[in-house]
Structure 1
C-alpha cells in the first residue's frame, strides 16, 4: 500500500540552522541553554503582579568592581586621622586576604553636604551635592574576602554555588514593562571574578538571564549586543522566515503536545527579532541634547566612558527594562597606590553618577527607580604596601537612592576606625531582601523549585531594613 505521507523538503532543524542567523544570533544563545526549564509560550516576560504595593519599578545597579574604600569615600572617621600610624587597638579578623600594618588615615578631606550635613570625601564632590537624595548604608558586611566569591555573593546571594543573579530573580518575579527588550541588561560587564555567573539565570528559565551589552574591555561607545544588525537580510525577509519557522514549530507542538524547550525557543527568536528594531534606538544617544551629554560628561575624555554607560542606563530605564547594571571594572583594588588610583577612579565616575541621579530626578523617574551603588566589599583602615589597603568584608558602605528610600541619611555604623560594622549591621542578604521589598516582592515568597527544593535569592536568610524606607 502506497503511503500518502511525504517528508518535507526541509526539516525544522535545517530551517533553524539556515534562517536563524539574523534573528537567532542576537546574544541569545544563552537564552537557549536550560531550555528544559524555560517558561511557557504565553509570555514569560509579561508583567506580573507583585506581592504588595511597590515603591520602585526598576533597579539601576552601579557596580564598582574591585572594592572602593569606605573610609576614603562615604564613611567619615576623624579618629582614624587622629591615630594615623598607630597600631589597630583591637584584633584584626582571623581570616584576611593578606597582612596589613598600622592605621592609615585618608588622604582626602571630608566635607558636609546638603541640608542633611552628611560628610562626603573630596573624591565625590558631585555625588556629595546629591546627598539629600541618598541613603548611605555604612554597616554593610559580607562573608568572603576574595574578589570572585564576594562578587558572586553580591550578585547572586551565594559565594560558593552557582545561583541566579539578583537581576534574574527580579525579572522572574515581575517580568518587564517592554516586551521588545530584555528584562535584564548589563552594560560593559566584567568577565573576571565569576564572569557570566554574575548575570546568569542558573536554574531559573533561561529567558531571565541578563543580556550583556559589550564587555569591560570594550569602550562604551562601541558596546553593542552582538548581531543586532543583519546586513544581509532585511527585516521584512527575516519576519517571513520567522513566521515560517514558527509555523513548523507550532505544527510540531500540535503533534507532540506541550514542550517547554520548543516553546522557549519560539519565544527567544521572537524577542530577538523585536530587539533588532528597539535596541539600536535605545543605544543611540545622539538624540540627547548637548546639555544632557555635557551633564554626563560624555564631552570629556575622563568621564566619557562611564558617562555613556550611565546615560544608556537611564534610556533603558525609561523604556521599561526592569534591571540595568552598569559596571566600572576592574579598577578599585588598591593594595597600593591608593591616592593616585582611587582619585583617578572617582574622577571617572563621580560626575556620571551625579548626572544619573540628577537626570532621573528631573525626568520624574527617580521616584520609582532604585539606584544602588557599591563594590563587592570595602577596604581596611590599616595600611598595605605603604599606600594601599587590603580587602575588607567586615564593614563597608553601599548606597541607595530613589525608589522609596529615605534620602539624606546614614544608616548603621562601623567602629571608630571603619573596620567592623558594629551598629545596625546589614548583610548582603538583608540588602537583597530590602531591594525586593521596595519592588513589591516578599523575599520569602519569591521562590523557584529546583532539584526538590524551593530556592530564593536570600536562601534562608535576610531581613528587610525598614529603617531606610521612606
Structure 2
C-alpha cells in the first residue's frame, strides 16, 4: 500500500505523540529572521541578572490592602464614605470604606508590615521587592488576565512566557522552554499561555488544568503504550529521513523544519519529563517544606515543588496558578472566609519555594513573580460588609530573586489603597523590567507580523530602575 508523505505523518506521528507535542519544540529556527534570535542561538542583549522566571498567579485578584499594602487610614475610617471620586468605569457598585479584617505586623530587618494572612511568606519579607503601585486598564477578569499575561486586553498577543522563550531559547533540549502548571481555562484560557503569531514552539505547555488536582498534572500523550522505545526510534528515523529528503528537493520550509525538530524533542521528552515530575525523589523534609504533608497546602505545594524541579532543569518560564474552583481570590462577598482559605493554601508552599531556591543558590538567578490580574477596592461590596470589588487602578505584586532589591516596598497607593499614586508601575512597565532582568531590551525584542513589528510592551513600557539591585 502506498502512502503519501502527508498520510505517513498523519498515521504514524501519533506513535510517539508528535502531533500532539509539536508545540514543544524549544529550539525551532522559525524566528531566524530576527537579528540575534535564531533558535538555540538566542542570546540576551546585555548581561542578564535572571536566567529564568517562576510566575505565581493568584487567579481572581487578591486584595492588596488585606495582604501586602497596609493602610492605617483605612482602618481609622472604616464605615465612612470614600472622600474622593471613584473611577469612572467600575465593575460593580460599592459602598463605604471597609477596613481590613486582618492585623498587620512588621517582619524582618526591613520592618515591612505584612498581613496575618501570610505568616510564612512574611518571614521571607527581606527577600521580597513589593510593588505597591501597580495599575492596569481593565476591570474585568478576562481583559485583566490577558493584560497581565500578554500585555494586551483586547487583542490576541503572545504571552510573556512565549516572548521569553522566543528571546532566549532553551537551556534544556529535552524539555519545553515554557511550562504552565494547572492553568485556568477561564478568563482568557489558552490565550494566556499562547504564542499567538510567534513560532508555535514557544507556546506554553500545560500540565493539567485548574479543575484537576496537581497530582494529576501531566503532559498529554507522553507515553506510547503500543511501541517500545527502539521501535519508536526506527519509526522516527524513517519519517525524519523522508521529511529531510522532501526539504532537500523543495528548499526551505520553516513549518516542516520545525516539525522535524519537534518529533525529536517529543521522543527525548519521554525520558526526562517523567523524571522531572517524580516528586518521590524528594526527601520527606522537602515535602514538608512545601506543605505536601497537609491536605490544605498539598495541592499548591506540589505545583511549587514541580516548578523548582523544572527551573533547575533549565526550563525558562514556569507558571503555576492558584485557582480554587470554589472561591478563587474573587471575593465580592465572603471576603473573610475566602481570603483566609486561599492564603492558607498558598502561604506555606510559597515560602517553601523561596527558601528552597535560596538554599540551592537558584534564587540569585531565578526571578519569582507573585500577583493576580488586579487588586480589590477599599470600599465594601455585598451583604454584611464582607466583600470587595475588582480594582485595576491600584494593586500589589511582588518580585524576589535575581536582580531586584530585597526588603523594600516600591511605590504607593493613596491612603485608602484605591489608586496607584506614587511611582506608578503599569503592567507594561512590569513586563519591561522583567525582560530587562533577563538581559532583554523590551524595545528590541520584536517580531514582525501582519506588516508591523510587535513586542510584549507594545509601544509603551519603562524599566523600573528603582527596584533594581
**TM-score category (smaller protein):** over 0.9
Is 2:197–2:449's contact at 8 Å kept on the other side of the alignment?
yes
Hey, what does 2:354 align to over in structure 1?
A: 357
Deviation at 1:362, TM superposition (A): 0.1
Given the alignment of the two structures, is residue 300 of structure 1 paired with residue 294 of structure 2, yes or no?
yes
Tell me, in whole angstroms, the C-alpha distance in 2 between the residues paired with 1:45 and 1:139: 36
Over the aligned positions, Cα root-mean-square deviation in angstroms equals: 1.6
SS at match of 1:139: strand
Tell me, in whole angstroms, the C-alpha distance in 2 between the residues paired with 1:47 and 1:201: 19
Hey, what does 2:260 align to over in structure 1?
A: 266
Tell me, in whole angstroms, the C-alpha distance in 1 between the residues paired with 2:257 and 2:460: 34
Hey, what does 1:193 align to over in structure 2?
A: 187
SS at match of 1:75: coil
Deviation at 1:30, TM superposition (A): 4.8
Tell me, in whole angstroms, the C-alpha distance in 2 between the residues paired with 1:117 and 1:105: 22
Tell me, in whole angstroms, the C-alpha distance in 2 between the residues paired with 1:25 and 1:218: 24
User: 1:166/1:240 Cα in 2 relative to 1: closer, same or farther (>3 Å)?
Assistant: same
SS at match of 1:60: strand
Hey, what does 1:318 align to over in structure 2?
A: 312
Is 2:135–2:395's contact at 8 Å kept on the other side of the alignment?
yes
Tell me, in whole angstroms, the C-alpha distance in 2 between the residues paired with 1:205 and 1:31: 11
1:344 counterpart (336, 341, 344): 341
Hey, what does 1:205 align to over in structure 2?
A: 199
Deviation at 1:9, TM superposition (A): 3.5
Counting only pairs closer than 5 Å after superposition, residues 17-416 of structure 1 correspond to structure 2 as 17-25=10-18, 27-28=20-21, 30=23, 38-39=30-31, 45-330=39-324, 331-385=328-382, 386-416=385-415
Tell me, in whole angstroms, the C-alpha distance in 1 between the residues paired with 2:452 and 2:255: 22
Most deviating of 260-269 and 350-359? 260-269
Is 2:145–2:192's contact at 8 Å kept on the other side of the alignment?
yes
Deviation at 1:307, TM superposition (A): 0.2
5+ residue gaps, structure 1, are 1-7
Deviation at 1:277, TM superposition (A): 1.0
Deviation at 1:40, TM superposition (A): 6.5
Is 1:114–1:132's contact at 8 Å kept on the other side of the alignment?
yes
Deviation at 1:246, TM superposition (A): 0.3
Tell me, in whole angstroms, the C-alpha distance in 1 between the residues paired with 2:54 and 2:378: 29
Is 2:67–2:114's contact at 8 Å kept on the other side of the alignment?
yes
Deviation at 1:269, TM superposition (A): 1.2
Tell me, in whole angstroms, the C-alpha distance in 2 between the residues paired with 1:74 and 1:176: 34
SS at match of 2:304: helix
Tell me, in whole angstroms, the C-alpha distance in 2 between the residues paired with 1:109 and 1:153: 32
Is 1:186–1:326's contact at 8 Å kept on the other side of the alignment?
yes
Provide Cα deviations, 1:181-230, integer angstroms capped at 9, x if missing partner. 00000000000000000000011011011000111111100110001111
User: 1:354/1:399 Cα in 2 relative to 1: closer, same or farther (>3 Å)?
Assistant: same
Most deviating of 16-25 and 444-453? 16-25
Deviation at 1:25, TM superposition (A): 4.7
Deviation at 1:22, TM superposition (A): 3.0
Tell me, in whole angstroms, the C-alpha distance in 2 between the residues paired with 1:27 and 1:109: 49
Tell me, in whole angstroms, the C-alpha distance in 2 between the residues paired with 1:393 and 1:413: 14
Hey, what does 1:3 align to over in structure 2?
A: none
Hey, what does 2:8 align to over in structure 1?
A: 15
Deviation at 1:443, TM superposition (A): 0.3
Tell me, in whole angstroms, the C-alpha distance in 2 between the residues paired with 1:22 and 1:181: 19
Deviation at 1:274, TM superposition (A): 1.1
SS at match of 2:85: coil
Deviation at 1:234, TM superposition (A): 1.0
SS at match of 2:106: strand
Is 2:32–2:39's contact at 8 Å kept on the other side of the alignment?
no
Is 2:151–2:458's contact at 8 Å kept on the other side of the alignment?
yes
Q: What is the TM-score of this pair, normalised by structure 1?
A: 0.95
